[in-house]
Amino acid sequence: MIKVRALWAAAELGVADHVGAAPVAVDALAAATGTQADPLYRVLRLLATNGIFRELPGRSFAHTPHSEALRSDHPTRTRAAVRLMGGVDFWNAFAGLDQTVRTGESGWQRTKGMGFFDWLPNHPEAAPIFNDAMIGIHGGEPPAVAEAYPFAGTVVDVGGGSGNMLTHVLQRHPAATGVLFDLPHVADAARANLRAAGLAERCTLLTGSFFDGVPAGGDLYVLSHIVHDWDEASCVRILANCRKAKKAGGKVLVVEMVVPGPNEPHPAKELDLVMLTVPGGRERTEAEYTQLFAQAGLRLTRIVPTKSPVSVIEAE
């Protein structure tokens, strides 16, 4: 816990942004981050013993590959992931895990008085961190998914966020076209990202709630890390909306980790507790996905593994 909080403090303060090619004295880092030199030194000293920054004589610090990843401009968006997962709001939600186990109520609901996805639109300062954190946490998955599955036709990314998944899919499959569908408060970031990727002409951006319905006429409906956020009834509603909207012969693709059998280590079992504690959702086994799809009028046809921890779970 102590090391995790030290890492979060360094990420929150943006220390890595102020370390360049040459070592920087802690006094200069403190001035740049608005902190006191001695407490900052003690935090960085601990991190350096774990390969995050490298301590040099004179209480100065240089980068390591791990601390480089904490820069705000690093493509992995690791800093945002650390800020989100190590922040006070997440820690408060996890602090009462025993109560969540007793009652089934998510820690976020208990501490905030509302669900995570009700809270997020009312805190615009948190939305960019969340979007970047999703890249930081799941960043290796979109290219792996794009490589593993034969995307074609019109691909509707339901709850597509900043457009990271759809960008990789369209870049890998140049004959496909895309529709990104999400709530209005994420539309501007998605539009800018798709334009920057040169995909504005191949992708339509539409806004709305997937609980009310999704754009009709697509060939493939992608739900990447959407289903694991919600309870069973909500998932059935989302999946049924995709079933109703797709073309005849179209498919619904759930991109999630699949929980393996007993005693087998897998990151899905850790992420499952995040889902339990924050949004109130869950990770699922193959049998649980089969049952979930059936409730929405769908049939699980295959599970396509990728080079990342997630699979493409196909239903028709």
Name the residues annotated as catalytic: 228
Q: Which among 208, 211, 215 is positioned nearest to 185, based on CA atoms?
A: 208
Q: Which among 218, 213, 157 is positioned nearest to 187, based on CA atoms?
A: 157
**Angstrom distance (rounded) from CA 195 to CA 207:** 17
**Angstrom distance (rounded) from CA 28 to CA 61:** 10
Helix, strand, coil content of the chain in percent (nearest 5) = 50, 15, 35
The DSSP string of 62-94 is E--HHHHTTSTT-TT-HHHHHHHHTSHHHHHHH
DSSP code at position 284? B
Q: Write down the residue that tokens 């995307």 correspond to.
A: 151
Burial 74-102 (b: 16+ CB within 10 A, else e): bebbbbbbbbbbbbebbbebbebeeebee
**Angstrom distance (rounded) from CA 229 to CA 211:** 13
